[in-house]
Amino acid sequence: MSDELAKQTVLIVDDEPINIKVLGQALADSYRVKTAINGSKALNIVQSAQPPDLVLLDIQMPELDGYEVLLAMKQSDLTKNIPVIFITGKDAAEDEAKGLELGAMDYIPKPFNIPVVKARVRNQLALKQKAELLEKLVSIDGLTEIPNRRNYDEKLQSEWRRCNRSRAPLSIIMIDIDSFKPYNDNYGHSQGDVALKKVASVIKSKGKRSGDLIARYGGEEFVVLLPETDLPSAVEIAETMRQAVEELKIPHEYNPASDHITISLGVWSVIPDLDTSPLTLQKQADDLLYKAKQQGRNQVSY
């Protein structure tokens, strides 16, 4: 069954049941197949919680035609990157040009040839997998496997605007491992890497909501972005993180603040104002982190 789960899903959209049947039979060995007999059913499936990896889309259908389905898919961030291959009786060059200009990845005229359809589907799915891998590589930190700085910078900009619109507080926690240079110097850099991964993992486990972003900010520093969270709630989360790291009990003889690895945290919260740069939020949290260090480390400052 795990094979079945790992299979990519192809959605076949055609108003002719015979086309759905033939294409479905051709693809069922290699893919999970979903079908829709009109444009609005197709949109329901692509917008669902389990969207397909690729759509084979007829153009001529009553009501919503294939061009309109593709246009609707391009309107939403959730569906705009799902590859679409038109498979259609419209075989004029201008129809094909229109389909490709709207963003279809490929265009197959009817009557179709099964091996050609299979090869084109396979090629587009391979491209999609590569694109997803690249997306992951540019946004996830390789060592700790949590989101990286670039991912955080983008999310900060978008959450700043979103919380401004909803007049909701946006909170941030800046985190820095205490006395990590002496840790590396005494236990070795590779053991330092192991500790860094453990700290990242335990911090991540203390995120509460799906909208929270916990990222590696750089070196031995982490940042937590908490949309729609006020200062007291953010401080509570920060304190949970501080305790969880201390409870890892990673021995650190050279940490003046404890016998174990500990972190210091700075927490700040604001209702975003579009005349102010989100970097002010960052700066405030950084200053508070510095204060936590000054006051003896292994503590939350806010």
Catalytic residue (one of 94, 220, 221, 246): 220
Which residue's CB is nearer to ligand GH3, number 219 or number 232?
219
Of 159, 154, 237, 169, nearest to 202 by C-alpha is 237
Question: Using CA atoms, how far apart are residues 197 and 248, in angstroms rounded to an integer?
Answer: 12
Rg (CA), the chain: 25
> CB under 8 Å, gap of 24 or more: what pairs does 276-279 form?
278/156, 278/157, 278/160
Q: Residue 2 is which amino acid?
A: S
Q: Take residue 203 and report the two structure tokens written for it.
A: 């911090």
Is residue 293 a contact residue for ligand GH3 (CB under 6 A)? yes
Q: Take residue 198 and report the two structure tokens written for it.
A: 């453990």
Q: Which does 58 bind (CB under 5 to 8 A by kind): ligand GH3, Mg ion, none?
A: Mg ion
The least distance separating ligand GH3 from the CB of residue 88, rounded to whole angstroms, comes to 52
Q: Which does 204 bind (CB under 5 to 8 A by kind): ligand GH3, Mg ion, none?
A: none
Candidate residues 220, 263, 265, 292; the one interacting with ligand GH3 per rule CB under 6 A: 220
The answer to whether 102 and 94 have CB atoms below 8 angstroms apart is no
Binders of ligand GH3 in range 165-194 (CB under 6 A): 176-181, 184, 189, 192-193
Which residue's CB is nearer to Mg ion, number 141 or number 176?
176
Question: Using CA atoms, how far apart are residues 43 and 13, in angstroms rounded to an integer?
Answer: 10
Per rule CB under 6 A, count of chain residues that contact ligand GH3: 16
The least distance separating ligand GH3 from the CB of residue 159, rounded to whole angstroms, comes to 26
The answer to whether 46 and 82 have CB atoms below 8 angstroms apart is yes
Does 221 participate in catalysis according to the annotation? no
**Catalytic residue ranges:** 220
- Interface positions with ligand GH3 (CB under 6 A): 143, 176-181, 184, 189, 192-193, 196, 219-220, 293, 297
- Interface positions with Mg ion (CB under 5 A): 15, 58, 60-61, 176-177, 180
